[in-house]
Structure 1
Amino acid sequence: MDVVAFKQFINDQIQLFAEKLGDAKHSSNDGVSLGKLTFYLAVRQSIDKKASEQDMGLVGAFNDTLQALGMVEPGKTFMSKLDT
Structure 2
Amino acid sequence: MEDSDKAKLKAFGDRVRELRLQMTPPLSQEKLALVSGLARSYLGDIERGNRNIAILNIHRLAEALKIEPARLLEPPTQKSGE
TM-score (norm 2): 0.33
TM-score (norm 1): 0.33
Structure scoring higher RCO (CA < 8 A, sep ≥ 6) equals 2
User: Which has the greater radius of gyration?
Assistant: 1
